[in-house]
Structure 1
């Protein structure tokens, strides 16, 4: 059985640790720094067999070099030569195997052009989506276009509703504060915001989230909802779902 736990890193990153009860081998996703990973591996008596990388930003690959030197793991990541140390470069439609599990690879450009996500079916399915989809939000558009990010999010939204979303940052409180401004009459958003505040007051992670829940609370997955479109119309073009998304993303950037 595969278990996934967060390793807090930097100011608000989560490096996801995958392990199985029957093996000391572990995998980590997006190691922005090495020290927290090394600490957990040594404390738990684990060895690092593999690393998954979603994109090239330093807070996702900053620990790669040291972890490679120390453990010689297999590194799987996008077709971006700027990321040094990748053994298996993967893109849309590819599959890879990690600790006996099949992972499907999706191209999800928007936050960056090289961004990929890793999805493994199961009960429940698991999605490691880096900075594309957050609980209550989505990533900023540093390289890609609103159109690209909208399509990427729509693709992720088509996954099963019980999919667990393992995003790479603890942004939920800020995201849901914005979601409430966009969708103030949404009782699901209000309840999620209250729950998030209680969790953060106790320094507990708000992730993973569940895709079905995100469809109810995340404005970037709700561009067709009349209340969301009405709020967005005060800030820009809402002639289509895609235009509404672009308006919401620009509004969030200055929120």
Structure 2
């Protein structure tokens, strides 16, 4: 069951966020993932004749939950991390590591991937080859460590790196160009990064999105996914936080 068996629509919201609509054609069910604001997703769904019945939330930050209340008022049930329920008052269903969520016949596993926030989760459609990583794994980057540490994020990167190379990665921001500028400094001899950045720069010049990415592409070009130890990831994260390139 490939990712093509799901209809996945990228919806830009706020300044540089991506929210996602995921549609199961067989059942007609649609879920919105990380709606930083509601109206763009409601409009995108309506354009396609879809009705949003669920919202899945990866973490509590307002740029990922800002549309939850309006979605709930429109009839959607809100699912998100149990560990962050106090910060996401709209939740109807609370999930954590080892739980599953359903969209029609498709089942997604819930992964607890702390570090950016303490209760952050990802949603992995293994059979469809798609994972929604919120603000943990980005194209050529990883999330800032606001509520966790490098050891946690390193463990997340190991989990992601173990997924099949063709797994499509749907993250929460268009950060690829800035992440790539740092990646070129972090790994100046990595030809794959140089080649990818030429493509990314051309795509952004045309106003195109660079997401989704893939696990295979990240394994070749993402310094954080390629880090061998938690200490190495910690060093990279500190350097990226201070990077002004």
Where 2:36 maps in the other structure, the secondary structure is: coil
Question: Is 2:133–2:171's contact at 8 Å kept on the other side of the alignment?
Answer: yes
- CA distance in structure 2 between the partners assigned to 1:144 and 1:137 by the alignment: 16
TM-superposition CA deviations, 1:133-164 (whole Å, max 9, x none):
00000000111111111111111211111111
TM-superposition CA deviations, 1:57-89 (whole Å, max 9, x none):
00000000011102x112211012221221211
Question: Is 1:27–1:50's contact at 8 Å kept on the other side of the alignment?
Answer: yes
- CA distance in structure 2 between the partners assigned to 1:28 and 1:141 by the alignment: 25
1:111 aligned residue: 116
Question: Is 2:30–2:51's contact at 8 Å kept on the other side of the alignment?
Answer: yes
TM-score by length of 1: 0.90
Where 2:145 maps in the other structure, the secondary structure is: coil
TM-superposition CA deviations, 1:74-118 (whole Å, max 9, x none):
221101222122121110111121232111011000000010001
Cα drift, residue 41 of structure 1? 1.9
Alignment match of 1:76 (pick from 73, 79, 85) = 79
Which consecutive residues of structure 2, in runs of 5 or more, have no partner in the other structure? Answer: none
Higher relative contact order (CA 8 A, sep 6+): 2
Cα drift, residue 35 of structure 1? 1.5
How many residue pairs match? The answer is: 237
1:152 aligned residue: 156
Structure 1 segment 207-246 matched on structure 2, within 5 A = 207-224=211-228, 241-246=229-234
Question: Is 2:165–2:215's contact at 8 Å kept on the other side of the alignment?
Answer: yes
Question: Is 1:162–1:212's contact at 8 Å kept on the other side of the alignment?
Answer: yes
TM-score by length of 2: 0.93
Q: Indicate the structure (1 or 2) with the bigger Cα radius of gyration.
A: 1
1:12 aligns with 2:12: no
Where 1:122 maps in the other structure, the secondary structure is: coil
The CA RMSD over aligned residues, in Å, is: 1.2
Q: Which moved more, 1:162-171 or 1:84-93?
A: 84-93
Question: Is 1:120–1:126's contact at 8 Å kept on the other side of the alignment?
Answer: yes
Question: Is 2:55–2:71's contact at 8 Å kept on the other side of the alignment?
Answer: no
1:238 aligned residue: none
TM-superposition CA deviations, 1:211-255 (whole Å, max 9, x none):
01101000001123xxxxxxxxxxxxxxxx111110000000000
Q: Which moved more, 1:244-253 or 1:1-10?
A: 1-10
Q: Which moved more, 1:211-220 or 1:75-84?
A: 75-84
Question: Is 2:99–2:110's contact at 8 Å kept on the other side of the alignment?
Answer: yes
Alignment match of 2:102 (pick from 77, 97, 114) = 97
